Amino acid sequence: QRLLYRAMPGIEPQPGGLDGAMEHLTDPERDRAPVVHLIALGPLLAKAETAREADNLALETGRRLAFLVHQGGQVIWTLRAPPEGPWPEAERALGKAVAALRGPIHLHCESLIAPLAQAWGIDLPSERVLVTPPGGTVGYYPDYATRAAARTKLGLSEDAPLFLLFGRLGEGKDIDAAVTAFGALHAAHPEAHLLILGNTAPGERRGRIRRRFDGLPHVRVIETHTADNSLQWFLRAADWAVMPYREGHTPEALMTVMSFGLPVIAPDRDVISRLVPGDAGLLYDPDTQDGLEQSLFQAMAVDQDTTCTMGDTARAAMAGRRWQPTAEALLPLLEKRLTGQAVTLDFE
């Protein structure tokens, strides 16, 4: 998100969320109504402690957004994943309220339109959908650690195969399938290791993944947020990234591991195959029961030099990606004000 806004000259994102936008709307010193760029809806319901509170908060938030649009503001929604907060039904209701504002909805791949429309229970007509390819993250994170230094820091020998499952830990990735597949690999190759690294996804019980899998033979789970300057120690120590995404998710973490020069093992979904060149990873058929397991075995058979070359290809693929196309597509929308647009306000 920061990289996107950096590519927009003249646009200065302001903190404060929806409350800040509403204050902006009523500030007499402001001559333009605000734009609210929604990325995830779950945080808007974070204060709720019960399902009823979440439902009421979703209704209230939808009304506030409608009032903002009625006053000439703009709401843009970048849709990246299905509802994944602790209150999915309330989050889905809020998503329907946002869609009802008839504002632009932004996605990163055409193939995400159908599954996300179904997951949210909304219509995504072509005239309101804006699709732009995601930019890369090469150069954004600190990246000065060597493989040898990273492995020393993790207490790992130079030649131990290390597979890394990285990113938000929740329903967006089939973590059970990855651990099961690794178990089969470890039985044949006891020298192999699996590191699961990521923060708990919204709506998931914190520590659940760690309690389930940490302590299995050569499986380590670090279930917490990792600071930007610490990512390099884990990603530079790994040989392969295992990214078992489910349908309907924008593979942001996959792009991060590729930017660190890791070849990837991932399902052959359209949104992923567009990002991963054929010689930058192993893509398996997600409908084949043992596809992930077979890819792990294939990876073990690749020599170190070839693995490094594949990683270089992955990094080069990300280095060639820019945020300018998305910025150029969104900028006119961010500058646009729909003064006087008719919006139904539910004050019941």
Task: Give the predicted TM-score (pTM) of the model.
Answer: 0.87
Q: Is 47 exposed, middle or buried (0-12, 13-18, 19+ CB in 10 A)?
A: exposed
Using alpha carbons, select from 334, 243, 247 the residue that is nearest to residue 296.
243
Instruction: Write out the two tokens for 79.
Output: 């849709």
pLDDT tens profile 73-130: 889 999 999 998 889 999 999 999 999 998 899 999 999 999 999 999 999 998 899 9
Read off the pLDDT of each residue in 267-294 and give the average, rounded to a whole number: 95
> What's the pLDDT tens digit per position in 17-42?
777 777 777 766 666 677 888 888 98
Q: What is the spatial distance between Cα 292 and Cα 288, in angstroms, rounded to a whole number?
A: 8
CA–CA distance, 105 with 75 (Å, rounded to integer): 9
Taking a C-beta distance cutoff of 8 angstroms, is the pair 73, 34 a contact? Answer: yes
In angstroms, the CA 291 to CA 166 distance is: 19
Place of tokens 């924008």: 250
Per residue in 194-243, pLDDT tens?
Answer: 999 999 887 777 888 899 899 899 999 999 999 999 999 999 999 999 99
**Three-class SS state of 38:** strand
Token pair in block for residue 122: 């909304």
d(CA 68, CA 76): 12
How far apart are the C-alpha atoms of 325 and 72, rounded to whole Å? 26
Q: CA–CA separation, 247 vs 245, rounded Å?
A: 7
